[in-house]
Structure 1
């Protein structure tokens, strides 16, 4: 395996592939490597330090250079984080005083004095026309000189890197884990799977690839390696065509199809012909992506292959020359006639669709007999439904106990969110409780048998990752709906962005809300300081990259919620900039240090979603005064320009209420099901590690576990979701 795959292994597993090379006296270099890692909030495990110490110094240094580069990027320390106010968080001025200072400086500048005077005559001054506003007034070296060294604290983050197997074995294992995932991968995971699929095409393959997007990525690698792709629906072929054109295999966004080579055209059409010949009813899936099929047909010319007549039928359906009713349209027709039993009978042939329709079927059932028939059909097909769908319906039914009239939040696969009033009729308790019992029994039966489970209490309130698209890529990031404790006196948010081509202005803000989600106040470029904390100053152009920070004293926060957000004021979108990420740090009051210190970074996530307002997470004060983070991973559409916290605070409060009051299915639920079936489950207090293999579930992997133990941490939490 080429060495460039090593960073993928480190990022996804926190394991360093076992370095190879001549034996030697690498102990000094290994300890220096460990010290350098600690400055970034990482550390070598005892096994890894011991292994490196027995290698030559050159091997250790090479390993250190590669690994340090990777972990610094994971923590956001691969760029220079400057701030507008060099002493931040000290000496941040009052907003009005600061703006007046910028005006006075502009009046002393002969090149802009007349323009500023004209604006003053009109009563409004554009801050962006003031030379000293929005651009760094000092160098990064000046910033370093203005701050003392960070004092180490026991609460600083220490992420342990463990010793892995050889690089080939680690790469193969990571490929199998990603390709065989039972839940959809996020953008980064899917991209990394594509990187791994080519080198791993001739090696071991997962027994099953249940997620269709993953299958499309693997199919491209198989096709390019000369193997037959895995296809059993017409949509599999369309996804493969998107993959071959570097398009969106989720089919959420249109793909600009390229003209493939003749061999690839034949492979796609042969696959289509085989699928339709084996099951003509699968033509019903074509209408769902009619326009994509028509665009693809213009590139692969099915009429050139008369020997593949079934493939031609696909494009005839897409063009409307042939009508094939889909299951969805037939079900809609039956429900339109109030024929719930007929719809249930039809949907039993597609168990996943039946489960996704359960709420509606139960609401539209007119009699107890019809409701009983819906539940009985669900129980009958339950073993055929994917685990993540079963868990999703279980979570949904749990939250349907509330009365109608509450807010209902919608989040698409890209994280775009909106909320509306929930005016649906209730799912009646008898059916809801019967279904919940059946779902729990089914999931409990699918969980792997294990002699002993050891659980870190801090992981119990982490939401189950039913889709990787509900979690941004990054360090210390948890799935949407997760709750995690926040320990520290100072909470500091940060955002970094680097524009691609156009002047781009991101604005970091923090909205403080009361217990009823009412606005208390905010910190932003329009409110640089308040009793809660300080804003580092507005940067409005980022050709070389720019950072903004907000420093909060948690003990001084008024209200119950703190909602950090990133607003696009002008320029490129989150998906257009060269790079952008958000995170937060926790510090003790007297630690000092630079505005950005990687050892204090608790979370760093990529900002790559749609919309112009990002809401990564929110913080809530508990009744006992402690603070917790609630993970959101949401994006709002926002305005075309000039997005500000003042303008979106009502929408943010409404969405936060919907997310904060929703009960997500968590690790606690699965652990409870394990215990219910007789598995020995115990909470780990961080003390002596057990003798013998265990299944360990926690936020971090502890040292000293038996080598045959199964380890589940946020990096592979998806492994808990049964097939």
Structure 2
């Protein structure tokens, strides 16, 4: 358990919990530890190295073993990355010549010969029936022997691990940060919160837990620890029941409720009874999840507990035996009667719902008086709306003017995307601008006012994490819509997967588009070589894990966009595979090394979303020739089998266009508001570290900052979102 908690702190905070151990002369072991870290692209901070050097050698070694295992997994270096073509990227054959070689080898194979001849007579050969196609023809060690050692370069990644507090203090701080997050967490971070909540159930708790999914996970831990539950809606109880059954606390997917013990049933029924007794109107919330409540009622047996009659009403409403009038129904009745002003006044008491209905209200209003009434109500209730919702609507309104008459991109909470025509009417420009000004003023009012703010320019184009589900777990991952510079001459993508039970074939591809999003070319198993680069070869079965790579020379790319994608050709979905992840490396010129080198990895992200085509990010060339990454984190539904880059060119190009041309609210937007509010905002200068405490925002925590400084990096970027 200690190792797991230690790993959580390192992954989430890039901090090494201060090791507990006897003093000693650990300087030699500490330097060896630091050298081992650098071989995979990490390094100890000066404070961490100094502290470890003063501990016993055995303590340093124990710390090194745990830490190296964690950081190697973060970079994707915990598995063996073999390639089909041993010399990749050198000596990759022409696709047709390679296929013909596989056919010749099959004809020389006594067992395969007759089957291949029969296929040749029909004019079509299935590559998967050729014995030498799709499986490794050499060992991992033989592949390593074919490559020189990595030549070190200035541009190699070096991620610093800073010295933290004690493990208990670090774990408590991480728990409070995740549990109290103002934005929803991704599934991976929600799973981490579950571990932390169980460990911290009896310790300090956040003042508020605004995100309902987080509250469900914390309530599960509190119930197991015998602590009081945090419930204020009937849906909180439903989410808790889902958590206890190992289901989806977001309620997007149905949960199969397990048999619950009598104490648990009592606690859930007592919670429902208390919520309804306190606010009877909350019975209407049942209607949004009627089927789930009916299934839960079958497990709770409310008729056995007459002491909680209000709980029984919940299930009576779910079964349709008792009426409950929803707030939304009243709003719909007013809009159906063309009473926009009345609907806005009713929504005044539910500011969050008012913001969600804002576009419709403005489009439905037929007179200036009605539009003025809507805007006036919004301006009045904005201080009562969560910061995340205010920012989301601000971003929406910014893009609204350009969206009418174009394609709309819809992305659900799991990252699955689809495109539809925009058939909405126009939102009047005057009201749009008035609302944007009001929201800017409210956001600026809520932002902190540090005496001195230092900002790394590279972080200004990072999108605000308005939802943790707009990203994925991994190393160097940024929220959807973020833009980050790409510095290097060679860009190399990689995918790794290991199947759980069935034969599984993932295909790494790269689609090249011009400035109008038209296809220029692609690299895949059907096109192994192009002017731009090489594909490492197709692996079609991964019982022990498999990797594919694409090598690109950025200076040779003929298009404007590079869109890597992972297609499921056959077998297990991303969530079903034992492990699956994507990433990219950057290298300088003719920098040598193995196909996979951890310290050249710039990004590694888990592939665990829905759909059968993954689009992690896209790369765009600017007019000056420089390249930037635009983060997507999208999944296409794809076909049940045989997905190929050639078959999804149009849908991928449409999605990329929708994301690339949409403007996200960024860190730069917030820092400009802070500057307008009087904060002294300065550009970070690595050569001049200030003496006193500052607030620093950047991609990495710099060394030498005053210990009382507030540091915001991608690991805790959610802290920028005001409540």
Q: TM-score by structure 2 length?
A: 0.99
Whole-Å separation in 1 of the counterparts to 2:499 and 2:475 = 22
2:213–2:250 contact (8 Å) kept in structure 1: yes
2:403–2:422 contact (8 Å) kept in structure 1: no
Whole-Å separation in 2 of the counterparts to 1:421 and 1:427 = 17
Q: Over the residues paired in the alignment, what is the CA RMSD in angstroms?
A: 0.8
Whole-Å separation in 1 of the counterparts to 2:568 and 2:329 = 40
Deviation at 1:403, TM superposition (A): 5.9
Deviation at 1:447, TM superposition (A): 1.1
Deviation at 1:104, TM superposition (A): 0.3
| CA distances 1:8-62 after superposition (whole Å, capped 9, x unpaired) | 0000000000001111111111011010001100000000000000000000000
Whole-Å separation in 1 of the counterparts to 2:406 and 2:459 = 29
Whole-Å separation in 2 of the counterparts to 1:336 and 1:102 = 67
Deviation at 1:686, TM superposition (A): 2.1
Deviation at 1:450, TM superposition (A): 1.1
Deviation at 1:400, TM superposition (A): 1.1
The match for 2:693 is 693
> Counterpart of 1:254 in 2: which secondary structure?
coil
The match for 1:668 is 668
| CA distances 1:352-380 after superposition (whole Å, capped 9, x unpaired) | 01001111110101111101111111111
Whole-Å separation in 1 of the counterparts to 2:530 and 2:718 = 41
> Counterpart of 2:584 in 1: which secondary structure?
strand
| CA distances 1:306-326 after superposition (whole Å, capped 9, x unpaired) | 111110111011111112122
Which deviates more, 687-696 or 706-715? 687-696
Listed as ranges, the matches of 1:136-535 within 5 Å are 136-402=136-402, 404-535=404-535
Q: Indicate whether 1:649 and 2:649 are aligned.
A: yes
Gaps of 5+ in 2: none
Deviation at 1:464, TM superposition (A): 0.1
> Counterpart of 1:640 in 2: which secondary structure?
coil
Q: Aligned residue pairs: how many?
A: 723
Whole-Å separation in 2 of the counterparts to 1:675 and 1:343 = 37
2:18–2:167 contact (8 Å) kept in structure 1: yes
Quick one: structure 1 residues 10 and 436, their matched pair in 2 at CA, closer, same or farther if it must change by over 3 Å?
Answer: same
1:403–1:426 contact (8 Å) kept in structure 2: no
Deviation at 1:685, TM superposition (A): 3.0
| CA distances 1:419-439 after superposition (whole Å, capped 9, x unpaired) | 112121221121111111111
The match for 2:126 is 126
Quick one: structure 1 residues 638 and 403, their matched pair in 2 at CA, closer, same or farther if it must change by over 3 Å?
Answer: closer
> Counterpart of 2:188 in 1: which secondary structure?
helix
Whole-Å separation in 1 of the counterparts to 2:329 and 2:110 = 70
> Counterpart of 2:199 in 1: which secondary structure?
coil
> Counterpart of 1:402 in 2: which secondary structure?
helix
Which deviates more, 398-407 or 613-622? 398-407
The match for 2:720 is 720
| CA distances 1:639-677 after superposition (whole Å, capped 9, x unpaired) | 000000000010000011110100000000000111011
2:533–2:551 contact (8 Å) kept in structure 1: yes
Whole-Å separation in 1 of the counterparts to 2:210 and 2:682 = 32
Whole-Å separation in 2 of the counterparts to 1:84 and 1:635 = 26
Whole-Å separation in 1 of the counterparts to 2:528 and 2:3 = 46
Q: TM-score by structure 1 length?
A: 0.99
The match for 1:81 is 81
2:514–2:560 contact (8 Å) kept in structure 1: yes
The match for 1:2 is 2
Divergent runs of 4+, >2 A = 1-4
Quick one: structure 1 residues 88 and 640, their matched pair in 2 at CA, closer, same or farther if it must change by over 3 Å?
Answer: same
Deviation at 1:3, TM superposition (A): 3.9
2:354–2:378 contact (8 Å) kept in structure 1: yes
Listed as ranges, the matches of 1:564-575 within 5 Å are 564-575=564-575
Listed as ranges, the matches of 1:608-619 within 5 Å are 608-619=608-619
Which deviates more, 399-408 or 64-73? 399-408
Which deviates more, 343-352 or 706-715? 343-352
Whole-Å separation in 1 of the counterparts to 2:80 and 2:183 = 36
| CA distances 1:292-351 after superposition (whole Å, capped 9, x unpaired) | 101111111111111111101110111111121222222222212211112112211111
Whole-Å separation in 2 of the counterparts to 1:38 and 1:56 = 22
Gaps of 5+ in 1: none
| CA distances 1:526-545 after superposition (whole Å, capped 9, x unpaired) | 00000000000000000000
Whole-Å separation in 2 of the counterparts to 1:478 and 1:685 = 23
Q: Indicate whether 1:106 and 2:106 are aligned.
A: yes
| CA distances 1:429-477 after superposition (whole Å, capped 9, x unpaired) | 2111111111111111111221111000000000000000001100000
